[in-house]
Amino acid sequence: MRKTILSAAVTAALLAPALASAQTTPAPAPTPALTGNVGLFSQYIFRGLTQTAGRPALQGGADYAHKSGFYMGTWMSNISWLSDFGTYTESSLEWDFYGGYKGSITGDLGYDVGLLQYYYPGRRLGTSANTTEAYGALSWKWITGKFSYSITDKTFGVLDSFGTWYLDLTATFPVTDKLSLVGHFGIQKFRGNGGVCAGGAKNNTCASYEDYKAGATYALPDSWSIGAFYTGTSMNTTQKAFYTTPSSYYIGKDTVTAFLQKTF
């Protein structure tokens, strides 16, 4: 990233939604069909990267699920990474739209397929960060594997990046009826050669990485919950430089995030 190069590139792995998986995979529920959520987070972490430079984030969304398995929804959060990297002169919002179909294969084995649109309104200097991903997931009891595939040629602003993908493996283990432990491992792989990496190397060289998360959530009365999680990434020197803003802030560092959330 180096203003233009770094900007376009960072745009790549940033997105969105520390609890990002939860925001884009609503569970179909015949009663009620319309559900919502709002939460205050000490920062917004998406795929191991802070989207708010370590500052608080207000997030919320709404989902509609039909008893047939079809669902659709929207989700929003404040962000700062686009302006932090100089990609946009004005941008403080991520607004997601998604829809798909969920069902059961047999017993505890389920599936989920759909489309997700990341929309970043604002005044930009270069390439748009708007991105569309197709996703598919398999779940068994408290374990889920999800594969997201970019069908946008400029994935999060990175040129020539069609086919960029992200693999999300998440386990949410219920210790009690109120306390759950969460573990996650992710692999972000960029495709193509958009010229964002030093020396003209392929996007994969500087933009791809792995991330992890470990945390816990605790249910409170009236559909409130609190929690905290530790996140980090495994990056080499080249990748760390790519995900460092012009003001020298590294967005992929190990960090702890706390939150308070309500569903309704």
pLDDT in tens, 156-171: 999 999 999 999 999 9
Per-residue pLDDT band for 221 (boundaries 50, 70, 90) equals very high
Mean pLDDT of the chain: 90
Q: How many domains does the chain have?
A: 1
196 or 5: which carries more pLDDT confidence? Answer: 196
* Section 34-51 average pLDDT: 98
The pLDDT assigned to 32 comes to 58
CATH code at position 124: 2.40.160.40
The pLDDT assigned to 126 comes to 80
Q: Which amino acid is at 8?
A: A
- Percent pLDDT > 90 in the chain is 84
Degrees (nearest 5) of the Cα angle 1, 168, 54? 50
> How many other β-carbons are positioned within 10 Å of the β-carbon of residue 262?
15
Is the bond into 26 cis (omega within 30 degrees of 0)? no
- Percent pLDDT > 70 in the chain is 88
Dihedral in degrees, nearest 10, Cα atoms 84, 87, 91, 92: -40
pLDDT in tens, 183-216: 999 999 999 999 899 888 999 999 999 999 999 9
Per-residue pLDDT band for 31 (boundaries 50, 70, 90) equals low
The pLDDT assigned to 17 comes to 43
In this predicted structure, the answer to whether residue 25 has a pLDDT above a threshold of 70 is no
| 247: β partners | none
Write b or e for each residue in 46-85: b if 16 or more Cβ atoms lie within 10 A of its Cβ, otherwise e.
bbbbbbbbeeebebbbbbbbeeeeebbbbbbbbbbbbbbb
Residues in CB range of 95: below 8 A, 6 or more apart:
74, 75, 76, 119, 120, 121
Residues in CB range of 196: below 8 A, 6 or more apart:
1, 5, 6, 8, 9, 12, 158, 159, 203, 206, 207, 242
Residues 66 and 28 sit within 8 Å (Cβ to Cβ):
yes
Per-residue pLDDT band for 90 (boundaries 50, 70, 90) equals confident
In this predicted structure, the answer to whether residue 253 has a pLDDT above a threshold of 70 is yes
Q: Which amino acid is at 37?
A: N
Which domain covers residue 175, as residue numbers? 4-263
In this predicted structure, the answer to whether residue 5 has a pLDDT above a threshold of 70 is no
